[in-house]
Structure 1
Amino acid sequence: MVEPVGTPGVAALDRRKVLLGLGLAAMSGIAQARMPKPVVPRISKDRFTALVPKHVGDFTFDSESGLVLPPSDALSDRLYDNLVTRTYTNRAGQTVMLLIAYNNKQDGVLQIHRPETCYPAGGYELSEVRPIEVPITTAKALPAQVFAANSDERNEVVLYWTRVGERYPRRWHEQRWAVAEANLQGIVPDGVLARVSAIGNDKGAITPMLSGFVRDLHHASGDHARRLLFGQI
């Protein structure tokens, strides 16, 4: 027997539907409120470029060419809001190449453009990638990595670091964990990959020069640039 419209059974069913709908809406609102949110505002390309100092120790900005670059694709456009490439030279004729890739919303896939990936893609063979602590101040050091990259055309020594939020991951799984940990705190962290390199195959002599350049870059940067490149160091 079909129960007439307006009877108590139908009214109860309608109330259950309304309560269920309200419950689902409330759960959706809570989930949305708990979604991780970016904590660092986006920076325009011109402003970001202006933050990078043109004078680093006794090195001076020379040009924007000559660097080994990550492969360009649709994903790379999403990964980085800002990509700065520069070469610096000093009076002694030494040259240091600097690459900075930054995004205010790091989703954990920065690994795709780590130097261990883009150098082999350019035809280079890499030595073992070794961890290095770069002294920045008397009390703090920057966790970084260093390796040699060799090809038929040229040899380079490369020193780089990554920062995800306040972490300095050296490995892919460390990067993923840094992002996940920040997300659990309701944060979408920003991220930077910074790389300095010099042409040559004398790793023992070039590495201290690159470390000195990184230390001088920290000192030459303003507060905003220092925060973006080095975090709390």
Structure 2
Amino acid sequence: MSVDNSIAESAERSDSENKSIVSRRHLIMGGAFCLAAGLAYARMPQVIFPAVEKTDFEKLIPENIGLWRFETSSGVVLPPPDALSDRLYDNLVTRVYTAPEDPPIMFLTAYSNTQDGVLQVHRPEICYPAGGYELTETQPMEIDNGLGGKIQANAFTATGRGRTEHVLYWTRIGSEFPVQWSQQRLAVIKANLRGIIPDGVLVRTSLIAPNFDEALPHLSKFAAQLNQGMNKQGRALLSGIKV
């Protein structure tokens, strides 16, 4: 065998070995990428709460709450009408309740089975200024849920359009009741780290009165009787109550 042939054969063997090494390297890298993708998919937060049909959700809210009776669906301050709001409020109920010896209560609740980094229920501090109201500082407070427990809620006064409206509301994100926007976002992140996309609800009550101290007892009473009057599914969705 000539020297040239020997060199050529050696070069061919080297090329073949290099190709084999490259192929194995690609195979290993491809497998690693597939494994990483599979792990990432497995760890992606999943929607675990089923969507609720609009008619079914509306039926969860009693027409009679204590001595209050459902009167009308108009007269309630609504979220600003934009594309994002339309996506947020698939389940939205607005009502005005009246009672013989209590002031009328304006009620709004909005539910979504998915809360993520983009879609999260608006807090009322957004809706009222969009409607031309000026707000006092929001006060966090704890109210009775009507069944022996407590709810972390917020309250403020909105002034505008020739009236003063006192607002009591709470938001539930998964199993938490955040009283600040930053806490609401954190609740979503914490659920995501557990592999869950949480559901979320806003429950808002309000009335017109000369001052907040006069309004709060009525609003708290309405909230407690709302939970007492709902069935198990309604209490779980609106207030996280499992009984």
TM bucket normalised to smaller: over 0.9
Partner of 1:206: 215
2:70 aligns with 61
**Structure 1's 93 and 131: CA in aligned 2 closer, same or farther, altered over 3 A?**
closer
Is the CA contact (8 Å cut-off) linking 1:148 and 1:201 kept in structure 2?
no
Inter-partner Cα distance in structure 2 for 1:42 and 1:111: 15
Could you list the per-position Cα deviations for residues 20-45 of structure 1 after superposition, in whole angstroms to 9, with x for gaps in the alignment? 11211111011101101122111111
Q: How big is the shift at 1:128?
A: 2.0
| Residues 108 and 175, structure 1, Cα contact 8 Å, conserved in 2 | no
Alignment partner of 1:123 out of 132, 139, 159: 132
Superposition pairs of residues 14-33 of structure 1, within 5 angstroms: 14-33=23-42
Given residue 98 of structure 1, which amino acid in structure 2 is its aligned partner? F
Q: CA deviation at 1:93?
A: 6.3
1:132 aligns with 2:156: no
Aligned to 1:76: 85
CA root-mean-square deviation: 2.1
My pick for the range that moved more, 209-218 or 74-83, is 74-83
Query: In the alignment, what sits opposite 1:195?
Result: 204
Q: Distance between the aligned counterparts of 1:191 and 1:30, measured in 2?
A: 27
TM-score, length-scaled by structure 1: 0.93
Distance 2:147 2:92 in 1: 30
Q: Would you say how many aligned residue pairs link Structure 1 and Structure 2?
A: 233
Counterparts of 1:138 and 1:118 in 2: how far apart (Å)? 30
Contact 1:132 1:144 in 2 (8 A): yes
1:91 aligns with 2:100: yes
Q: Distance in 2 between matches of 1:63 and 1:138?
A: 27
Match of 2:5 in 1: none
Aligned to 2:3: none
Determine what percentage of the aligned residue pairs are the same residue: 45
| Cα distance change, pair 112–193 in 1 and its aligned pair in 2 (3 A) | closer
Question: Would the aligned equivalents of 1:81 and 1:104 in 2 still touch at CA under 8 Å?
Answer: no
Amino acid at match of 1:41: P
Distance 1:226 1:3 in 2: 76
Please point out which of 43, 60, 66 is paired with 2:52: 43
Q: Which stretch has the larger CA shift, 136-145 or 155-164?
A: 136-145
Question: 5+ residue gaps in structure 1?
Answer: none
Q: 5 Å matches for 1:164-183?
A: 164-183=173-192
Change in Cα spacing, 1:143 to 1:123, as seen in structure 2 (3 Å) is: same
Deviating 4+ runs (over 6 angstroms): none
**Residues 5, 58 of structure 1: CA spacing in aligned structure 2 closer, same or farther, 3 A cutoff?**
farther
Secondary structure of 2:22 counterpart: helix
Question: Residue deviations 1:137-180, cap 9 Å, x none?
Answer: 47411111111111142211110001101110000111111111
Secondary structure of the 2:235 match is helix
Matched residue of 1:113: which SS? coil
- Pair 1:73–1:148, CA change in 2 (3 A): same
On the 8 A contact 2:47/2:197 being kept in 1, the answer is: yes
Partner of 1:114 in structure 2? 123
1:148 is matched with which residue? 157
Quick check: 2:105–2:206 contact (8 Å CA) kept in 1?
yes
Amino acid in structure 2 at the alignment position of 1:212:
K
Q: Is the 8 A contact 1:126 1:148 kept in 2?
A: yes
TM-score, normalised by the number of residues in structure 2: 0.89
The SS at the match of 1:88 is: strand
